[in-house]
Structure 1
Amino acid sequence: MHLLATYSLTSLAFSSLIVCVACDPGPANLIPSQQGANTDADDEISLTDALMPNEDYTAPGRWCRKCWAPKPERTHHCSICGRCVLKMDHHCPWLGSTCIGHRTYPAFVHFLCSVTLLATYIAIISISALLDAFHNPFLVHEFTPVHELRLAFAGIVFSLVIGSFACYHLYLISYPHLCCCAIFLHYRRLVIHSPIHRFSPN
């Protein structure tokens, strides 16, 4: 039973990791018809929307001066990858130094949740085995408590770190914000409410 649960969570985490690393996060010229039927109005962002006849391409956020290409709504330029990513959430150096965007964000959240559940499950099993080893010291190997203690510590650390990150992204999903947008809004609120900004002449 424990092996089945562990292997299942591990396979879910690895499959999500492969999607995040192997798939394109979202080209800026992505057309929804190429992605199949999609009823979500927020996902229907195409290059045509950025090329409206009366659009001012010199306006901020509509034209990328680095890529020198149209910049659809909620598209951000990644300075590390050197390209624009549709619905870019953030650049993740831990997942092969790739961006998390329109195509890979669901798999990224799934990966965080799977790793959190796996780490929590391993921590619970290790703590249970560690308690059994102390209650019945003659029924286990002498190095078993050491291994179980290491596994329990690693499981607790991963569940807290990755779990907090997963909870943060689940919170962002409840509001239509990306990670980079949420950080920008938080920074702007800090600047607006700062005493320096209030008493500045501008």
Structure 2
Amino acid sequence: MPSYHPARSRRATERKGDVRERAILDTCEALLAHKGYDAMTVGGIAQGAGITRGALYFYFGSKQEAVTALVARTVEHLWERSRTTAQTDEPRQAIAAAMQRTVELWNEHGLVMRTAIDLSLTVPEIGELWNHTADLFIAAITAVLERAGVQAGTAPDQASSMARALCWMIERTFYHASQKSRDELQKASATCEHIWLISAGLIN
């Protein structure tokens, strides 16, 4: 099997267009923090990325398209970091690890994630991305619950339905906590972890 050198590979394969697209998305994330979605403009994104307005349109046709791509990049990070949750054998460890990764991601990208939630009902592409991500997490939570002994199935007291409720509870709890402080996020995580452990029958 040939050896793999990450740094060399990136230098060899990352094209100028990739660098520009990343700069555009990084600028979108920064502008969300400083201006908010409604005040963002295509001109502002282009200026922040160091390109002309015309050059930006080569990559994205509107600020909505650019923000949709930013959401896509963020949820990819979200899923990559949390992929192992469904593969961890011990349910308590899986739950603790999942909640810690969730805190980290909301600390790093909370603004993008709140924007995704806010726009998910009015921008179909973002809604589809966010719902797909939720489905992946629901499947992971379901697997943890089943390993903890919760019966498989879709009845109200069975793993699939409980996982769906836990997923949306965690999303909404973190949405509100992330607007306050990192301490509030940590408290929210502890509460959600406690409820998940009770749901799994791991504590009384």
Q: Which has the higher strand share?
A: 1
Q: What TM-score bracket applies, with the shorter chain setting the length?
A: under 0.3
Kindly indicate whether structure 1 or structure 2 has the higher relative contact order, using CA contacts under 8 Å at least 6 residues apart: 1
Using structure 1 for the length normalisation, give the TM-score: 0.24
Report the TM-score when normalising by structure 2.
0.24
> Normalized per residue, which structure has more helix?
2
